[in-house]
Homo-oligomer: A and B are copies of this chain.
Amino acid sequence: MPLSKAHKRETRQRVVRTAAHAFRARGIDGVGVADLMRQAGLTHGGFYAHFRSKDDLVAAACAEGMIESSASLLAGMKEATADAGIATFIRSYLSRSHRDDPATGCVIASLGPEIVRGSPQTRRAFTEALKRYVAELADYTSDETADDPSEEAREDAMYLLLSGMAGALLVSRVVDDAAVSDRILRAARRFYTKSFADSDGISAGRPVG
């Protein structure tokens, strides 16, 4: 046997992780296979020992990016109550540092439309990662009391929260005016916190179902 299977797995994973970053920063069409392999410390020819096509990598990288960014966001949620945890989540997601660093951030906001137009495999892989993420968030917001809404309602709420914040982040990035961009982030932090991390009765957004 030549090199070990673990070594091959590691190389593949390195390429996928490099791609997950590069795609979010420069777009899927903006990153070539040769460019990517160089960044991973290899030459372009070896690419096809790991992937059947660029599209094969795209599917893996989109799922990987989703998993990475959600993990780093979820990692910050060690709060005592679900509301406090979600409030932390919202503050991190709608931060200026997230806005200014798409490479490690939310895939929906950086690659959403490209995935929509992508291959069935890409959409499938991404959807699966997104569903797992939303389910995890929905579990987190479950408080196991009598008025705890159904799991489906909690999932719907998390789809709303996540998609709404992704839209706000996207608009804050697209806008060519730093003051307006900051205003959008600030207003969104307030709005989503009030709607999804404030159980004191008056909340309109949580639960929505």
Contacts and interface: CB of A to CB of B under 8 A. Distances in A.
Interface of A: 26-27, 29-30, 102, 108-117, 120, 123-124, 126-127, 130-131, 152, 156-157, 159-160, 162-168, 170-177, 180, 183-184, 187-188, 190-191, 194-195, 198, 202-205, 208-209
A182 to B, nearest CB: 11
Among A113, A131, A183, chain B packs the most CB atoms within 10 A around the CB of A113
Contacts of A191: 160, 195, 204-205, 208
**Copies of the polypeptide in the assembly:** 2
Given A167-B164, A170-B108, A203-B204, A127 B175 contact: yes
Contact of A29 (B27, B110, B115, B160): B27
Nearest to A107: B174
